[in-house]
């Protein structure tokens, strides 16, 4: 799945291949990396309703198992409609008013960067298993390689009339939505504001803010349409923050579900947090340190690393699905260099368990560890020996073919150019280099050497 974006804020244009298991955004501050990450998130979260297929739904309900022959014309139309609908909702994506959204993003273009025939071949040649949840009904979806149909199956023995009506309404759209963003099942984002989401979730509650907005609207001097107000949603927060707050609002329910990756969350707690992230029956986040297991701390009293990573732990324990795309803006936030390295190794393990990652980073420690993980994919005996010597696990490696690195920067030869170009950096068997980071390190080393030499040997010739 390839996306091409033009005229997005500071970014003139850029492409991203989401079939890659790891996409890395890098470059100086203020070059549009977060905008691009938000755009990817918003597009993949977009869903539209395009009608129903009552015959398909009826057969699935009666037989509990049926085939869906993929209608590629309908699928291509669905993908086009997703983009058109998404472009009309930039105000919700960025948490701004409609007028500002039109002003800032009037020229923005989004395209699926593959032909209909290329996409059709990708779908036919793929194989996957997924689950579609519609109300309380879970539909198992199986796609075999070199086929043009899906096998749908439900396990529930009894289905209420209300659930049947819902299934009739949403089944076809849910199937097309699943295929439209293949190979990704769903998307989860950890924005840079993640530290504050659980800490201030009650104060920033979406339901509370909407109630306040409705109160001001109802008591204001301007006349309003009460029916319109009923369906009006607040755009106070960008979509990634709003979604995070909605999860925080519903943690008491979220904790009732255990994902297949619960044990992996325990590994993060053990290796990085050295304690347990817990959800109370009231939906509050708490932390129990391994060093003081009898003392439970509310999230706002914990170390910054706990605040930064607690949302990732909750996601892996209760929400995660295989083939999810996880977007993390600056994963190095609040982490000491040694923990940045541990987290980067955990990323490799996540990827090798079936996840995809999109990260933006300024950290030389993260970049160098990614390069180490790429080199560790070699099967040379010397590398295998060093992997054991340095304590890397069997899943702590990255294949260079699975990694794409995007460098955001203003063109050096066009200083007056106010738009950012997104360059795809070369990734080889030894990894990749980020120009702006390397230049900064070289300049800092040069200054340090000059200062040290002057401090140590200055004045000796006098």
* Interatomic CA distance for residues 236 and 75, integer angstroms: 33
* Interatomic CA distance for residues 397 and 377, integer angstroms: 5
pLDDT in tens, 171-191: 999 999 999 998 898 999 999
> What distance, in Å, lies between the first and last C-alpha atoms of the chain?
68
**18 by DSSP, 3-state: which?**
coil
pLDDT in tens, 16-51: 999 999 999 999 999 999 999 999 999 999 888 888
Residue pair 29/13 in contact (Cβ under 8 Å)? The answer is no
| Average pLDDT over all residues of the chain | 87
Over residues 331-342, the mean pLDDT reads 94
* Interatomic CA distance for residues 139 and 338, integer angstroms: 43
Evaluate if residue 216 carries a pLDDT over 50.
no
What pLDDT score does 222 carry? Answer: 54
pLDDT in tens, 385-430: 999 999 999 999 999 999 999 999 988 765 556 789 899 999 999 9
Evaluate if residue 305 carries a pLDDT over 60.
yes
* Interatomic CA distance for residues 332 and 447, integer angstroms: 26
* Interatomic CA distance for residues 104 and 90, integer angstroms: 9
Domain ranges of the chain: 49-87+111-186
Cβ-based burial of 225 (10 A; exposed 0-12, middle 13-18, buried ≥19) = exposed
- Read off the DSSP letter of residue 395: T
| Two tokens, residue 51 | 């009608």
What pLDDT score does 459 carry? Answer: 67
For 297, how many CA atoms within 13 A lie in the half-sphere containing its CB?
Answer: 20
What pLDDT score does 263 carry? Answer: 94
Comparing 217 with 167, which gets the higher pLDDT? 167
| Two tokens, residue 315 | 């996601």
Over residues 136-141, the mean pLDDT reads 87
Residues 6+ apart with CB under 8 A from 84: none
Over residues 365-377, the mean pLDDT reads 95
* Interatomic CA distance for residues 396 and 134, integer angstroms: 36
pLDDT in tens, 258-300: 999 999 999 999 999 999 999 998 889 999 999 988 899 998 8
- Read off the DSSP letter of residue 257: -
CA torsion 7→9→14→19, rounded to 10°? -120
H or E stretch at 110: strand 109-112
What pLDDT score does 426 carry? Answer: 94
pLDDT in tens, 91-115: 999 999 889 999 999 999 999 988 8
Angle, nearest 10°, between helix axes 116-125 and 72-87? 120
Of all residues in the chain, the percent with pLDDT exceeding 90 is: 57
Evaluate if residue 210 carries a pLDDT over 70.
no
pLDDT in tens, 226-267: 444 444 555 578 999 999 888 888 889 999 999 999 999 999
Residues 6+ apart with CB under 8 A from 27: 33, 407, 408, 409, 420, 434, 436
Q: Report residue 385 CA to chain centroid gap.
A: 34
* pTM of the complete model: 0.88
What pLDDT score does 335 carry? Answer: 94
* Interatomic CA distance for residues 64 and 38, integer angstroms: 38
Band the pLDDT of 218: cuts 50, 70, 90.
Answer: very low
What pLDDT score does 215 carry? Answer: 46
Instruction: Report how far apart, in Å, the C-alpha atoms of 129 and of each of 72, 184, 185 are.
Output: 19, 11, 10
Comparing 56 with 213, which gets the higher pLDDT? 56
Q: Range with the lowest mean pLDDT among 206-210, 235-239, 277-281, 303-307? A: 206-210
* Interatomic CA distance for residues 81 and 39, integer angstroms: 16
* Interatomic CA distance for residues 425 and 404, integer angstroms: 7
Over residues 60-79, the mean pLDDT reads 92
| Two tokens, residue 33 | 């990396």
Comparing 196 with 433, which gets the higher pLDDT? 433
Cβ-based burial of 42 (10 A; exposed 0-12, middle 13-18, buried ≥19) = buried
Band the pLDDT of 355: cuts 50, 70, 90.
Answer: very high
């Amino acid at each position: 799945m390839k996306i091409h974006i033009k005229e997005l804020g500071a970014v003139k244009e850029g492409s991203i291949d989401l079939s890659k298991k790891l996409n890395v955004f890098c470059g100086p501050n203020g070059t549009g990396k977060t905008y691009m990450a938000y755009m990817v998130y918003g597009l993949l979260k977009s869903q539209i309703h395009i009608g129903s297929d009552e015959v398909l739904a009826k057969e699935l309900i009666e037989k509990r198992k049926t085939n869906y022959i993929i209608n590629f014309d309908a699928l291509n139309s669905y993908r086009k409609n997703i983009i058109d609908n998404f472009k009309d909702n930039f105000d919700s994506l960025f948490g701004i008013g409609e007028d500002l959204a039109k002003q800032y993003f009037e020229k923005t273009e989004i395209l699926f960067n593959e032909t209909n025939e290329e996409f059709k071949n990708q779908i036919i040649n793929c194989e996957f298993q997924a689950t579609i949840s519609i109300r309380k009904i879970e539909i198992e979806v199986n796609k075999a390689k070199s086929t043009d149909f899906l096998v749908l199956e439900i396990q529930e023995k009894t289905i209420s009339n209300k659930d049947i009506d819902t299934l009739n309404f949403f089944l076809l759209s849910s199937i097309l939505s699943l295929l439209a963003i293949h190979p990704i099942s769903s998307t989860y984002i950890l924005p840079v504001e993640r530290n504050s989401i659980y800490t201030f979730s009650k104060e920033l509650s979406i339901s509370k803010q909407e109630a306040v907005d409705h109160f001001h609207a109802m008591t204001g001097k301007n006349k309003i349409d009460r029916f319109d107000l009923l369906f009006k949603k607040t755009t106070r927060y960008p979509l990634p923050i709003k979604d995070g707050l909605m999860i925080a609002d519903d943690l008491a329910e979220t904790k009732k579900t255990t994902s297949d990756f619960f044990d992996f969350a325990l590994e993060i707690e053990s290796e990085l947090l050295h304690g347990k992230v817990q959800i109370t029956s009231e939906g509050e986040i708490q932390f129990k340190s391994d060093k003081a297991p009898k003392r439970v701390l509310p999230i706002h009293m914990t170390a910054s690393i706990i605040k930064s990573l607690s949302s990732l732990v909750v996601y892996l324990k209760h929400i995660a699905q295989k083939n999810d795309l996880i977007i993390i803006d600056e994963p190095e936030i609040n982490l000491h260099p040694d923990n940045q390295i541990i987290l980067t190794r955990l990323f490799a393990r996540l990827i090798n368990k079936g996840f995809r990652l999109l990260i933006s980073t300024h950290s030389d420690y993260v970049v160098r560890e990614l390069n180490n993980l790429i080199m560790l994919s070699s099967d040379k005996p010397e590398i295998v020996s060093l992997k054991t010597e340095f304590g890397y696990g069997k899943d702590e490696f990255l294949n260079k073919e699975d990694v794409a690195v995007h460098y955001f920067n203003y063109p050096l030869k066009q200083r007056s150019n106010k738009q950012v170009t997104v360059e795809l950096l070369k990734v080889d068997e030894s990894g990749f280099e980020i120009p702006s980071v390397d230049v900064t390190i070289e300049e800092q080393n040069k200054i340090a050497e000059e200062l040290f030499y002057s401090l140590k040997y200055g004045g000796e010739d006098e």
